[in-house]
Structure 1
Amino acid sequence: MSRYVIAGLAALAVLAAIIWGGVAAIGKIDGMIDKAASITRIERDAYWKGEIEKSNAQAQAKIAETLKQTMAAQDAARDQIEAAIQRADALEKQNASLPDDGTGGIGRDRVRLLNQR
């Protein structure tokens, strides 16, 4: 064989090795990029999961505080209603104890009871 043919084949073999190495390097780079992207996604998801949990905890605390305030308002309203019922019962007893003057109208004492409501 000729010297030029051998040199050409050697150059072709070197070129093939370079191309093969380049393809392998590109494959490794793609793998590294995929791995970095996967890690970044995992970190991003973990960050936002933490943010969502923090937000949910704040919302739950706000709901609990609102519930406490609502229950306190209900208790106060219940107490006021009970006091009004007791006042009405007392006024009814006082009204029943007043004498009936037989005129069919409302006497001064009954008007005073109405004004106490």
Structure 2
Amino acid sequence: MGYELHITRKTDWFDKGGPEITAEEWGSVVAADPELEMVGVAHAKIDGEVVLTYTHEWLAQMVTHPRLEEHGAWIDWTDGSIDVKNPDEVLIAKMCEIAKKLGARVQGDEGEYYDE
């Protein structure tokens, strides 16, 4: 399943109400950032073979991630927040940078903040 971090404007990322990040805002951030690319599809591989494909219109990738091929470095917008599953330190730093641009915060599944 994994642990996720969320870029959110809500007090708690899981709140039903509250300010959201729009898909258009996310798209603008990706378009303006040379380290990001809207890819729309992710392939998980084991021993070089694709075992899982995930498709989503607002799925981006950090194309400058130093371990891109093994890590994937996918960043996904869904329902008003931007999520990354099992991010490493490089992705956490990038998420904090993105959050700052969006007037948002980076919050973990258990409610802890990463951008303080």
**TM-score grouping bracket, smaller chain normalisation:** under 0.3
TM-score normalized by the length of structure 1:
0.20
Which has the larger strand fraction?
2
Larger Cα-atom Rg: 1
Which has the larger helix fraction?
1
